[in-house]
């Protein structure tokens, strides 16, 4: 004797079996995406393995944890830098607890980060924020190891950035590098570098910065057949622009 549930199950099994494979795959994909909020099959594998797909702020601290442990040992400088990043983001108490858990999760090194970073290719400002935070963490102990540098360059690649562009960000946080802007006329020099006036609107300053950044971008220079020296000069110019824009933004208090 078959129980009603068995009959229903058998009927459902027959109905599923009659659906063409391609259509079944599409239906299952839609159902999984709605039910589990998945972005890719890589995310599905993570969920089936018991690992929660991280939020953007959690992803940042997973990366920082992975960097901190990349040389085998987390030092006090790494912990302090993680706290600095929490303050920088203005995290609530609950968000700080999530960040700590994410940092520890990153130290374990079990996450497949490529899928998570790939989904941020369409968010250039968020991607830049991640990479900058990673370089700050890498410099937290006063030096950047080969393992740390290789990780950040790889993550930059997954975010859609070229290696020279990722490296250009690194020099901004090098504590041993002499600042490019250092006199009492720092602010004036920064304005001159971007070609804007002291009373320029923030939107105008941003446009000038992005226009110059595009013109001197190492990738663009390399694409014209430039030699290695010219690419390095473009990388240095990019660093100057980053530094000038950061100084102006801090002085004028806009994001």
How far is C-alpha 24 from the geometric centre of its chain's CA atoms? 35
CA end-to-end distance (rounded Å), the chain: 71
Shared domain for 169 and 209, answered yes or no, is no
Shared domain for 66 and 137, answered yes or no, is yes
pLDDT tens-digit map of 63-112: 999 999 998 989 888 999 999 899 888 889 999 999 999 999 999 999 98
Token digits of residue 23: 């259509």
- CATH at residue 220: 1.10.287.110
Q: For residue 73, is it within any domain?
A: yes
CA 91 – CA 80 distance, rounded (Å): 15
Q: Which pTM does this prediction carry? A: 0.57
Question: Residue 44 — pLDDT band, cuts 50, 70, 90?
Answer: very low
Classify 52 as helix, strand or coil.
Answer: coil
Specify the pLDDT at position 141.
84
Shared domain for 159 and 246, answered yes or no, is no
Which of 93, 135, 106 shows the shortest CA–CA distance to 239? 135
CA 40 – CA 60 distance, rounded (Å): 19
Number of domains in the chain: 3
Shared domain for 212 and 248, answered yes or no, is yes
- CATH at residue 113: 1.10.3680
Which of 136, 148, 155 shows the shortest CA–CA distance to 87? 136
Q: Provide the residue range defining the domain that includes 155.
A: 56-173
Shared domain for 61 and 158, answered yes or no, is yes
Shared domain for 200 and 234, answered yes or no, is yes
User: Which residue do the tokens 């990366």 mark?
Assistant: 63
Q: For residue 41, is it within any domain?
A: yes
Shared domain for 76 and 161, answered yes or no, is yes
Which of 163, 145, 142 shows the shortest CA–CA distance to 153? 163
Query: What are the angstrom distances between the C-alpha of 118 and each of 62, 89, 103, 106, 130?
Result: 15, 22, 20, 17, 13
In residues, how long is the chain?
A: 255
Of the given ranges (10-14, 54-58, 168-172), which has the lowest mean pLDDT? Answer: 10-14
Specify the pLDDT at position 89.
86
Shared domain for 48 and 108, answered yes or no, is no
Q: For residue 239, is it within any domain?
A: yes
Specify the pLDDT at position 23.
47
User: Average pLDDT, stretch 6-30?
Assistant: 45
CA 213 – CA 234 distance, rounded (Å): 10
Classify 126 as helix, strand or coil.
Answer: helix
Shared domain for 203 and 148, answered yes or no, is no
């Amino acid at each position: 004797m078959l129980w009603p549930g068995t009959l229903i199950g058998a009927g459902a099994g027959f109905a599923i079996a009659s659906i063409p494979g391609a259509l079944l795959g599409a239906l299952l994909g839609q159902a999984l995406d709605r039910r589990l909020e998945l972005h890719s099959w890589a995310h599905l594998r993570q969920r089936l393995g018991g690992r929660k797909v991280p939020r953007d702020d959690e992803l940042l601290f997973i990366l920082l944890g992975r960097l901190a442990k990349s040389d085998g040992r987390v030092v006090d400088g790494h912990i302090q830098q993680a706290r600095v990043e929490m303050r920088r983001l203005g995290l609530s108490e609950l968000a700080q607890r999530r960040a700590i858990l994410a940092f520890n999760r990153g130290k374990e090194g079990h996450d497949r980060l490529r899928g998570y970073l790939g989904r941020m290719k369409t968010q250039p400002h968020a991607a830049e924020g991640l990479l900058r935070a990673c370089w700050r963490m890498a410099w937290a102990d006063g030096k950047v190891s080969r393992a740390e540098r290789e990780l950040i360059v790889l993550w930059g690649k997954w975010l859609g950035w070229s290696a020279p562009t990722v490296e250009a960000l690194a020099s901004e946080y090098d504590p041993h590098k002499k600042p490019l802007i250092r006199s009492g006329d720092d602010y004036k020099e920064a304005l001159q570098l971007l070609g804007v006036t002291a009373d320029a609107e923030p939107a105008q300053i941003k446009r000038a910065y992005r226009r110059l950044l595009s013109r001197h971008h190492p990738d663009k220079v390399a694409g014209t057949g430039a030699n290695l020296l010219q690419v390095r000069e473009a990388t240095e110019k990019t660093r100057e622009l980053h530094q000038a824009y950061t100084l102006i933004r801090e002085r004028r208090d806009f994001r």
